[in-house]
Amino acid sequence: MAKHVADCTTLHNGVKMPWLGLGVWKVTDGEQVEHAVSAAISAGYRSIDTAAVYGNEEGVGKAIAGCGVPREELFITTKVWNSDQGYESALQAFEVSRKKLGLEYVDLYLIHWPVKGKYKDTWRALEKLYKDGLVRAIGVSNFHVHHLEDLLADSEIKPMVDQVEYHPLLSQQELRAFCRSQQIQLEAWSPLMQGNLDNPTLTELGKKYGKSPAQIVLRWDLQNEVVTIPKSVNEKRIIENKDIFDFELSAEDMEKINQLNQNKRFGADPDNFNF
């Protein structure tokens, strides 16, 4: 189990991906995102997760360029947006993202949402980018089990990652089991429930371990072997979020958190979204 902020899981193609990263959803391009990314890298984070639709790839790129850490030590994720899905358009969208980031290659490129009738063509584009060496790993985001099964039915390369909404109120047991059986790494977005951490169980466990409810949740992610990318623009919080490698939740306390599941989403349902 991970003992340090830069510790990695190994994806099924042998690429190493950090267990903990910084998410930059809803972080403004320019100074705000540059500061957040720089603070995270200074604190020891090596994984940054952005997306074309976030509109902040340029700021992420600037922070990477100025961070002083060798490129090969960083793990940069971005995603193709829904309006760019399809074979040719996804290839073009990748080029735009890559240029904005100022990178020769991207570590992980994801299909952002399973757009009906388009995600298979988009996946073929990702397979090409992977074969061409422009991306070290490819994956999907917000794919349910049935989307994955559909994709696996006629894809050449299996997704390395599925990034989904995952937290104590939405513990995605079926999806987690399926991904594990297929060697697809599950990754959590909105792991901190968009700040809805006021929960008696999490408060009680926080007191028991001398940690914040957020740290309890992030530790639960790691012990469930789920990569996690909490978002923050606050340097103190960014540092606090990585302070989760010096304790371990007991099996009994893990189960207490597992029991909180309500299948509650704070984001859209991948079977029913309109963007």
Q: Which residues are catalytic?
A: 54
Distance separating alpha carbons of residues 149 and 200, to the nearest angstrom:
37
Distance separating alpha carbons of residues 197 and 194, to the nearest angstrom:
8
Distance separating alpha carbons of residues 151 and 126, to the nearest angstrom:
12
Question: Residue 82 is encoded by which pair of tokens?
Answer: 């829904």
Question: Residue 198 is encoded by which pair of tokens?
Answer: 């006021």
Contact call for residues 255 and 224 (beta carbons, < 8 A) = no
Distance separating alpha carbons of residues 269 and 266, to the nearest angstrom:
9
Contact call for residues 121 and 80 (beta carbons, < 8 A) = no
Distance separating alpha carbons of residues 214 and 221, to the nearest angstrom:
11
Contact call for residues 122 and 87 (beta carbons, < 8 A) = yes
